[in-house]
């Protein structure tokens, strides 16, 4: 089994005995092993193959990557990346510096207009309109027509079945 040398710059594995990394071209040092990655948010020691912290879920920096800006949690004091909104350890809300600066600026407000409302016990006058009256009239007329038609059909079928004798003309 071939021995592997891990590049300190990019973290890729190379065959032992090479002078330079095959991925990034950095000089390889003999016996160099990649150490554990410390989470910038909670300080947890993560294995070198991890991309996210196993304790708090924060994205871990890649080897050779520039250090991420950090802010400290006001509740527990742990370090968190500046792009987070909540602490990775205690879950407290983090206020990014940009939002804090915006909050400090005065905000122009408009005067509030008082809302006028009627008391709950007062009655509101409702005046009937002709449109309402005509609509009601036609509904009643259609109901009478429907009722009359049903009665007519019942009497007609009773006459056909000879239950009621037909009317005799004089």
The structure tokens listed for 55 are 């304790």
Domain ranges in the chain? 1-34, 38-102, 132-170
Cα–Cα dist 104/95, whole Å: 12
At residue 32, the pLDDT reads: 45
- What is the model's pTM? 0.26
Cα–Cα dist 81/11, whole Å: 22
pLDDT at 118 over 50: yes
Q: What is the pLDDT of residues 26-65, one digit of tens each?
A: 888 765 445 677 787 777 878 777 888 888 888 888 765 6
Contacts (Cβ under 8 Å, ≥6 apart) of 104: none
Mean pLDDT of 118-142: 77
Q: How many C-beta atoms lie closer than 10 Å to residue 28's C-beta? A: 20
């Amino acid at each position: 089994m071939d021995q592997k040398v891990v590049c300190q710059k990019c973290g890729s594995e190379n065959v032992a005995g090479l002078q330079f990394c095959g991925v990034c071209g950095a000089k390889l040092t003999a016996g160099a092993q990649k150490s554990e990655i410390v989470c910038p948010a909670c300080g947890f020691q993560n294995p070198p193959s991890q991309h996210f912290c196993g304790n708090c879920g924060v994205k871990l920096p890649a080897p050779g990557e520039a250090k991420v800006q950090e802010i400290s949690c006001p509740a527990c004091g742990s370090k968190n990346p500046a792009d987070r909104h909540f602490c990775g350890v205690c879950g407290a809300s983090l206020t990014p510096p940009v939002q804090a600066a915006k909050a400090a600026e005065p905000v122009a407000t408009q005067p509030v207009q008082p809302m006028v409302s009627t008391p709950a016990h007062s009655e509101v006058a409702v005046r009937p309109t002709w449109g309402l009256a005509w609509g009601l009239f036609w509904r009643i007329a259609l109901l009478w027509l429907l009722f009359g038609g049903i009665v007519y059909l019942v009497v007609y079928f009773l006459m056909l079945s000879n239950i009621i004798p037909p009317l005799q003309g004089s």
